């Protein structure tokens, strides 16, 4: 038995060295891509987030857990295909802005974090849509009075990945301001508003935002899935039809 083990040793060692090298290389790749333990599970879903991920998509930690998966962002963009100007009020690393830019004429992408805007701009180049997007670093609430657009898209922070521990996610939990105030600000720009909200959101409360308008806005609610897993809820307000 002992002699059999000895015979296999050199081969085993080569296999072990190769496996260790592969593991080291994978670790280095993850480090380069800001894959902290918190974002590891999102990194595993990277091609659902950006199908062109391997062409040089860049993310930061918040970007990893907040970006709208590409298939969902594309669906949200189809609702307002042909619009002249879409305002992405919380643009992050560009998941939504890139998809709007593929189907609409212009996108105004706002984010308060200059690092996000730089990442979104680089990511838009990978999809070849950077010329259709105006990037603005700023606070949407302060910029809103100066913005004009046909559609406002709202995917604000939900308070981090721990949002899902809440049973009934009410609009006051959205950041940096509650959903009611956010919707009212968006309404000063256009009645065509899309909100991307947590899957545990209080849907009745969120859809009742339509009553802030007189007559009430049309409302469409959809649950968004990727590979059969629920990711979020999109509520479309207004009757955007541009094509």
Structural contact between residues 77 and 98, judged by C-beta atoms closer than 8 angstroms:
no
Considering only CA atoms, which of 193, 182, 232 is closest in space to residue 216?
193
Q: Among the candidate windows 30-38, 91-99, 183-191, 206-214, which touches ligand SAH by CB under 6 A?
A: 91-99
User: According to CB under 6 A, which one of 94, 149, 179, 232 is a site residue for ligand SAH?
Assistant: 94
Residue 163, contacted partner among ligand SAH, ligand MGP, none, CB below 5-8 A by kind: ligand MGP
Distance CA 92, CA 215 (A): 33
Instruction: Give the pair of three-digit tokens for residue 201.
Output: 């959101």
Q: Does 65 bind ligand SAH (CB under 6 A)?
A: no
Spatial CB neighbours of 84, under 8 Å, sequence gap ≥ 6:
104, 105, 106, 150, 242
Element (H, E) at 183: helix 179-187
Residue 64, contacted partner among ligand MGP, ligand SAH, none, CB below 5-8 A by kind: none
Residue 116, contacted partner among ligand SAH, ligand MGP, none, CB below 5-8 A by kind: ligand SAH
Residue 46, contacted partner among ligand MGP, ligand SAH, none, CB below 5-8 A by kind: none
Structural contact between residues 68 and 96, judged by C-beta atoms closer than 8 angstroms:
yes
Instruction: Give the pair of three-digit tokens for residue 194.
Output: 């899309």
Residue 65, contacted partner among ligand SAH, ligand MGP, none, CB below 5-8 A by kind: ligand MGP
Provide the β-strand partners of residue 237.
Answer: 193, 219
Binding mask 130-169 for ligand SAH (x = CB under 6 A): ---------xxx-------------xxx------------
Structural contact between residues 109 and 120, judged by C-beta atoms closer than 8 angstroms:
yes
User: According to CB under 6 A, which one of 83, 92, 150, 238 is a site residue for ligand SAH?
Assistant: 92
Which residue, 90 or 135, is less far from ligand MGP as judged by CB?
A: 90
Q: How far apart are the first and last CA of the chain?
A: 76
**Strand 229-237 with 193-197, pairing:** antiparallel
Respond yes or no on whether the N-terminal peptide bond of residue 215 is cis (omega within 30° of 0): yes
CB of 182 to ligand SAH, least distance (A): 9
User: According to CB under 6 A, which one of 46, 53, 64, 66 is a site residue for ligand SAH?
Assistant: 66
Interface contacts to ligand MGP, rule CB under 6 A:
41, 65-69, 155, 157-158, 160-161, 163-164, 196, 229, 231-232
Positions that interact with ligand SAH (CB under 6 A): 62, 66-68, 90-96, 110-113, 116, 139-141, 155-157, 176
């Amino acid at each position: 038995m002992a002699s059999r083990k000895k015979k296999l040793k050199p081969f085993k060692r080569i296999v072990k060295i190769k496996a260790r090298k592969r593991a080291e290389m994978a670790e280095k790749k993850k480090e380069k891509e800001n894959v902290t333990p918190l974002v590891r599970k999102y990194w595993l879903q990277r091609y659902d987030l950006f199908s062109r991920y391997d062409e040089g998509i860049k993310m930061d930690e918040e970007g990893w857990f907040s970006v709208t998966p590409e298939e969902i962002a594309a669906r949200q963009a189809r609702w307002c295909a042909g619009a002249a100007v879409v305002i992405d009020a919380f643009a992050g690393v560009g998941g939504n802005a890139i998809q709007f830019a593929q189907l609409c004429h212009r996108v105004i992408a706002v984010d308060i974090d200059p690092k996000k805007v730089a990442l979104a701009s680089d990511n838009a180049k990978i999809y070849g849509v950077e010329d259709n997007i105006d990037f603005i670093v700023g606070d949407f609430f302060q910029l809103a009075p100066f913005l004009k657009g046909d559609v406002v898209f709202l995917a604000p922070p939900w308070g981090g990945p721990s949002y899902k521990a809440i049973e009934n996610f009410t609009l006051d939990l959205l950041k940096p301001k509650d959903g009611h105030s956010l919707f009212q600000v968006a309404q000063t720009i256009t009645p065509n508003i899309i909100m991307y909200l947590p899957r545990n959101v209080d849907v009745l409360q969120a859809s009742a935002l339509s009553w802030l308008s007189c007559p009430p806005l049309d409302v469409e609610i959809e649950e968004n899935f990727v590979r059969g897993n629920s990711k979020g809820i999109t509520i479309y307000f207004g009757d955007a039809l541009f094509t």
